[in-house]
Chains A and B, each alone.
Chain A
Amino acid sequence: MTSGYFEIQNISGGYGSGRVVRDVSISIGRGEVVCLLGRNGVGKSTLAKLACGFLQPMSGAVRLAGVEITGKRPSENLTLGLTYCPQERVVFDDLTVAENLSLMRTDRRLDEFEPYFRAFPRLCERRGQHAGTLSGGEKKLLSFVRGLSEGSAMMVIDEPTEGVQFENVVRMAELMLAQKEAGASFLVVEQNLTLVDRVADRIMIMDHGEIVLSAPASELDRQQILAHLTV
């Protein structure tokens, strides 16, 4: 097996002593987008947290560009080029939209966010408001923009389109594809096939903590995917 840019190798883990993810391996190449699908509660988010250092795996390893990052803290992983966007509590509610974006920058001007503001004008209009006042979908957009703007070579995004309007999902896909062209890789946990259809190179389906299907996106049709997603 050729080694990918981002490698999850035989990861098992969960919360406390509960094993939610069982012996999962995923290898993602440069500029590849892998979409991870599955019903609620099968361990997708847990896998994302294990991969990014928010949970310590019971066994297995994670590698980024050949360097083992298992057990490293998320803040350290970010400096190595691994960005994570969580599924829940995606923004800092007490900070303004602008502060959410500029929090870790020395420059408080938002010039570099112009392209994102063009795609999502709503965020620009609301930049002075507390992020807590945004709708669920707007918060997801803010989180997505924050994540993309890190410019990391590897991004793990957990359900980025939850509550997001259709036309904004389409724009998210366009922005992702532009970064993919520049060589960025993605692991996207997703339920929304609108996004998956547009960005996925490979689709993986998870059930009961294991990967049950992995195939190039071109070889799967909607019916096959939906069959796995419905109970």
Chain B
Amino acid sequence: MEALLFTQGLNVVFEALILAMLVLGLAVVMGLLNVLNIAHGEFIMIGAYAAYIVQRAGLPYLLAIPAAALVCGVIGLVVERCLIRPLHYEPFETLLATWGLGLLLRKCVELGFGRGYRSVDIPIGGSVSLFGESYPTYRLVLMLVAVLVLASLFVWYRRAPTGARIRAMVGNPVLAEAVGIRTRELARNTFITGTALAGVAGVMVAPLTPVEPFMGLTFIVNSFFALVVGGMGTVSGLFAGATIIGGLQSVLSAAVSPTSAYIAMLLISILFLWQRPRGLFPRP
């Protein structure tokens, strides 16, 4: 019984960390630039396809991470130039535009790969024995990678002035130019960082889920819920949202059913949007 609880506990931590990785790109773009990238899930999907291609080509799986980051970064660059910047980063306009972009990306991938499910083999097989219970090694490695990525990003955001400069630019673009911030480049790079992170998250989850053109839809919904609950633009908000949404989903799915888990998440998100729209830890 204790061992089962321990495994369940690990699963909750795992779900929370994976969700945090999935949200990260959206948190950067939405929390910092106020652009709700509805196509965020599609960038995760493209990252997953990049992993599939790299694995099929017989290349080492680690190579999929830079490949996905590169592909999603380049698409992000084009999207920023042709869609986001011409719409002046306006929240509502870009929401509509990226919704259309999501449709386009899904259809493009469908054209190339068809609608069928692809599966990506788990790159690190086997399991580790923890307190008498066996736990998949790949999950443990994923958790470790997620902790490393999130921790380094956290330290960087706190120490480097870039975070404050992005906030400054979003709050007052004219003054930002006046104090010497190259606002066009900074906004572009922030957006690209968000899409590239989505691609990397796609590589991480690809072996755990069927890879298909519509897989992004679930991710964008969960990511959005996590941001709504946690609050935009803060690292604590990202963690809180991912833990609550990811953990709840994991516990309720195991204890009751995935459907009731989904209903619970919806209710919580609606409650937050209604009563506390800025989330638990909003940017001051």
Contact = CB atoms under 8 A, between A and B. Distances in A.
B284 interface: yes
A75 B173 CA distance: 11
A89 B164 contact: no
B172 interface: yes
B206 to A, nearest CB: 38
Given A92-B168, A103-B161, A103-B168, A75 B180 contact: yes
Contacts of B165: 103-104
Interface string A83-94: 111100111111
Contacts of B177: 54, 73-75
Contact of B172 (A52, A73, A89): A89
Nearest to B185: A75
B175 interface: yes
Contacts of B284: 94, 130
Nearest to B173: A89
Nearest to B168: A92
B174 interface: yes
Interface in A82-119: 83-86, 89-95, 99, 102-106, 108
Interface string A126-161: 000010000000000000001000000000000000
Given A103-B179, A104-B180, A95 B174 contact: no
A54 B175 CA distance: 10
Most buried by A among B161, B171, B179: B179
B183 A95 contact: no
Interface in A27-68: 52, 54
Interface in B160-208: 161, 164-165, 167-168, 171-172, 174-183
Contacts of B182: 73, 75
Contact of A86 (B174, B180, B181): B174
B174 A89 contact: yes
Nearest to A105: B161
Contacts of B167: 92, 94-95
B283 interface: yes
A78 interface: yes
Interface residues of B, number: 19
Nearest to A146: B179
Interface in B129-145: none
A93 B164 contact: no
A79 interface: yes
B180 A90 contact: no
Most buried by A among B164, B165, B183: B164
A89 B161 contact: no
Contacts of A85: 178
A146 B179 CA distance: 8
B204 to A, nearest CB: 33
Nearest to A91: B175
A94 B171 contact: yes
A48 to B, nearest CB: 11
B179 A104 contact: yes
Contact of A79 (B171, B176, B180, B283): B180
Contact of B181 (A93, A104, A105): A104
Interface in B43-72: none
A199 B269 CA distance: 59
Contact of B175 (A79, A92, A99): A92
Given A94-B283, A103-B161, A130-B284, A86 B183 contact: no
Interface of B: 161, 164-165, 167-168, 171-172, 174-183, 283-284
Q: Which 8 A-B pairs have the closest CB atoms?
A: A74-B177, A78-B180, A92-B168, A94-B171, A75-B182, A84-B178, A75-B180, A75-B177
9 contacts: A73-B177, A78-B180, A84-B178, A91-B175, A92-B176, A103-B161, A103-B164, A103-B181, A104-B165
Given A89-B172, A103-B164, A104-B161, 20 more contacts: A54-B174, A75-B183, A78-B180, A79-B180, A84-B178, A86-B178, A89-B174, A91-B175, A92-B167, A92-B176, A93-B171, A93-B172, A94-B284, A95-B164, A95-B167, A103-B168, A104-B179, A105-B161, A130-B284, A146-B179
